[in-house]
Chain A
Amino acid sequence: EAGVTQSPTHLIKTRGQQATLRCSPISGHTSVYWYQQALGLGLQFLLWYDEGEERNRGNFPPRFSGRQFPNYSSELNVNALELEDSALYLCASSLDPGVIYTGELFFGEGSRLTVL
């Protein structure tokens, strides 16, 4: 069974540009989560989608946005890129919509975004 897949693996952009990252969850998982792993800042919760709806977002500015498609895949968009957006962006999926009960998120290997 395929795991969580993310694309692209690496992305290089310049300040002010937009970046789009994509994620396909494990088959049957309806919840998708996005985390940012920046150097020195650890893993920070970005967004949670379930059944096509945004359920929660972390403490990030509105230029971080995304959506979930009917097939449960998801897209993360970062507008007006800034240097500090350089990070590894991790997508995860789960069977449990709230994750609080099992804590078992299945993570992809991430998309590394570099902003020059």
Chain B
Amino acid sequence: AQSVTQLDSHVSVSEGTPVLLRCNYSSSYSPSLFWYVQHPNKGLQLLLKYTSAATLVKGINGFEAEFKKSETSFHLTKPSAHMSDAAEYFCVVSDTGGKLIFGQGTELSVKP
């Protein structure tokens, strides 16, 4: 069965410092993995996706994620946080039947 675990429910960083949001996955086959972002009172938006091509994936707004099979991880990073990055971030794995399995979410706060 497919699952994802987001290791932190809340992360707080200062503006201009690096961001690290951690995600581990479990999959019975080669997974497709994604990160989505949800800003307050907005719909979810796809940040980036891994679908068995390059293991280092670049997304929108300067975010990246690295697929590490040996560690079953897909952590999201950004070199320098911006105030506008404050939002909830979801690590997601695809399942059969048109289904996406969402992690519990990590709320990112950015302090000035």
**Which of A's residues lie within 8 Å of B, judged by CB?**
3-4, 31, 33, 35, 42-45, 48, 50, 55-56, 58, 90, 92, 97-110
Contacts and interface: CB of A to CB of B under 8 A. Distances in A.
A103 B104 contact: no
Interface string B13-48: 000000000000000000011100000011111100
B100 A105 contact: yes
Interface residues of B, number: 25
A33 B33 CA distance: 18
A107 to B, nearest CB: 4
Interface of B: 32-34, 41-46, 49, 51, 90, 92, 94-105
B96 A100 contact: yes
Nearest to B93: A103
Contact of B99 (A3, A56, A102, A107): A56
Contact of A107 (B41, B45, B105): B45
A99 B100 contact: yes
A48 B100 contact: no
A110 B39 CA distance: 13
Nearest to B33: A103
Contacts of B46: 103-105
A110 B95 CA distance: 23
Nearest to A4: B43
A6 to B, nearest CB: 9
B51 A48 contact: no
A48 B49 CA distance: 21
Given A107-B44, A108-B43, A55 B97 contact: yes
Contacts of A108: 43
A56 to B, nearest CB: 4
A107 B43 CA distance: 5
Contact of A100 (B42, B94, B102): B94
